[in-house]
Amino acid sequence: MSLSPPRVKADLFCRVIDNLGDVGVMWRLARQLTAHKNWQVRLWVDKPEALAAMQPGLDLRLTHQQCRAIEVHRWTEPFAQVEPNPVVIAGFSCDLPDSYLTALAQMTQVIWLQLEYLSAEHWVSDFHGRSAPRTDGLRPVFFFPGFAEQTGGLLLEPDLHARQATWSHRATDPDWLASLGVVTAPETRLVSVFTYAHAPLEGLVAQMSRVEQRFHLLLPKGQRAPDLSPRSNVTWQTIDFLSQDDYDRLLWSCDLNLVRGEDSWVRAIWATRPFIWQAYHQGQDTHHCKIDAWCALAQLPEPLPHLLHEWADGQITTDLSPLLTAQGWQQWCQASSQLSQKLSKQTDLASRIDLWCRKPPHLK
Ligand code: TRH
């Protein structure tokens, strides 16, 4: 008989600034801690509407509810009078409510993690785990997800690869794709498209149209459709915005995934298929440093490194066609699969957070 470790009670906070990554990451983390680590999670989210898009069944009329064994609360101001839980995680280092912090400062044993943005840059290893003592005695710890052992790791469910293998074994279920309204001719490469509005989709489609190969693009509702002149070999359609679980299935079912931001990027890595990541555009070329770091780590086949920079900025001149031919494609598939396997070997983010909170290391 295996004994569960003692229950960890935690408050997770999420402000939906823009886009969906904030709540996407925090929901995934909440689910993993609850399902696999014996945590009891209270998730405070200021816009549950964003969560409802990826988690069907959430009732937006309620101020709080149980969903997948997680207590989901609408985070309103002024903040509810609640006794804080002994573990607190601020998603993307969002500010916590003043009244909550006052109550937190009166508790004797508190672990407060500021969960930061994901980046492959080297400095992340140096800053991960550092804390910043405050005048009220609280010591938030900066917890950086990342790709190296000295970071917080990546979100990866322990059973993800097994589920994915079962799925792929069924040759990426045509019935399931048909239930989304997707029916394609044989030998067509399916492409999932989730990019920022300025992604140069037309440029990519123009390159695809020069290859002897059929492509079919799947665009979730809300995604800008490419301005396509009729092409014989490149078609596209809109599909519903999917639940997070179905979005994973979509990534496993497609031959090429266009992803962005943070969470879909990581999911595309686990999907083991070729993908093109669009970094979130930041001022002062910050996103270019992130792309450089990612390309150095991932050892992407040429000409992807250059293309990713252009792709993020919304124009492509790089010729991707060498990777779209049969031989180049094989190379790209192999590189994607190897990368996924390599990164899967690391301890995942939820496990590292769990370990940190159960056995807090000496604070740096
Ligand atoms: O929405 P994003 O652009 O979010 C980004 C990142 O979080 C980035 O780090 C942050 O700085 C910026 O916002 C403000 O992309 P991301 O991170 O991929 O999040 C999208 C979420 O939506 C992810 O959890 C997957 C989910 N999703 C579905 O559940 N179903 C779908 O059909 C699609 C297309 C996405």
* Complete DSSP assignment for 255-300: SEEEEETTHHHHHHHHTTS-EEEEPPP-GGGHHHHHHHHHHHHHTP
Q: Is residue 1 part of a domain?
A: no
Q: Do both 198 and 225 map to the same domain? A: yes
Cα radius of gyration (the chain): 21
Structural domain boundaries, residue 310? 160-344
Q: Which of 160, 177, 264, 265 to mutate to test the pocket of ligand 1 (most atoms within 8 A of CB)?
A: 264
Q: CATH number of the domain that 186 lies in?
A: 3.40.50.2000
CA 314 / ligand 1 centre spacing (Å): 18
Give which of 171, 317, 250, 116 is closest to 258, Cα–Cα: 250
E strand or H helix at 113: strand 111-115
140 and 167 in a common domain: no
Query: Which pLDDT tens digit goes with each residue over 86-102?
Result: 999 999 999 999 999 99
Which amino acid appears at position 348 of this protein?
A: D
Is residue 101 within 8 Å of 126, Cβ to Cβ? no
The reply to whether 3 falls in a domain is no
Model pLDDT, residue 363: 58
Position 19 in a domain = yes
Residue 275 contacts residue 311 (beta carbons within 8 Å): no
At residue 248, the 3 state secondary structure works out as: helix
Indicate if 229 and 128 belong to the same structural domain: no
Q: Give the residue whose CA is nearest to atom 27 of ligand 1.
A: 244
The residue count of the chain comes to: 364
Considering the domain architecture, whether residues 169 and 131 belong to the same structural domain is answered as: no
**Do 150 and 174 have their domain in common?**
no
CA-CA distance, 167 to 179, in Å (whole number)? 15
Residue 2 counted as domain residue: no
Residue bearing the CA closest to ligand 1, atom 28: 244
CA-proximal residue: ligand 1, atom 19 (nearest): 21
Residue 88 lies in a domain: yes
Residues 165, 149 share a domain: no
Q: Does residue 173 have an active-site annotation?
A: no
Match 């069907």 to its residue by tokens: 56
Alpha helices, DSSP H, located in 41-145? 48-54, 98-105, 123-127
For residue 12, what is the enclosing H or E element? Answer: strand 8-14
124 and 173 share one domain: no
Structure tokens at 275: 């993908």
On whether the pTM is more than 0.85, the answer is yes
Average pLDDT over residues 202-229: 90
Encoded amino acid at 71, one letter: E
Q: How far is the CA of 118 from the centre of ligand 1 (A)?
A: 13
Q: Is 364 within a domain?
A: no
Q: Are residues 119 and 230 in the same domain?
A: no
Does the annotation mark 262 as catalytic? yes
- Domain count for the chain: 2
Distance 75 CA to ligand 1 centre (A): 20
> What one-character DSSP code corresponds to residue 131?
B
> What is the model's pLDDT at position 270?
98
- Answer yes or no: is 189 within a domain: yes
Q: How far is the CA of 26 from the centre of ligand 1 (A)?
A: 11
Q: Contact at 8 Å (CB) between 209 and 235? A: no
Tell whether 273 and 308 lie within a shared domain: yes
Ligand 1 atom showing the smallest separation from residue 239 Cα: 32
- Do 180 and 232 belong together in one domain? yes
* Residue nearest (by alpha carbon) to ligand 1 atom 29: 244
Using alpha carbons, select from 294, 251, 270 the residue that is nearest to residue 344.
Answer: 270
> Do 202 and 86 lie in a common domain?
no
Same domain, 194 and 145: no
User: 49-83, pLDDT tens digit by residue?
Assistant: 999 999 999 999 999 999 999 999 999 999 999 99
Residues in contact with ligand 1 (CB, 6 Å cut-off): 17-22, 24, 54, 117, 194, 220, 241-242, 244, 247, 260-264, 280
Instruction: Please determine, for residue 338, whether its predicted confidence score (pLDDT) is greater than 70.
Output: yes
11, 46, 255, 262: the active-site residue: 262
Structure tokens at 183: 């029916």
Residue pair 192/250 in contact by the 8 Å Cβ criterion:
yes
Stretch 24-43: mean pLDDT, rounded? 98
> What pLDDT is recorded for position 173?
77
- Asked if residue 46 belongs to a domain, the reply is yes
Query: In the prediction, which pLDDT does 175 show?
Result: 87
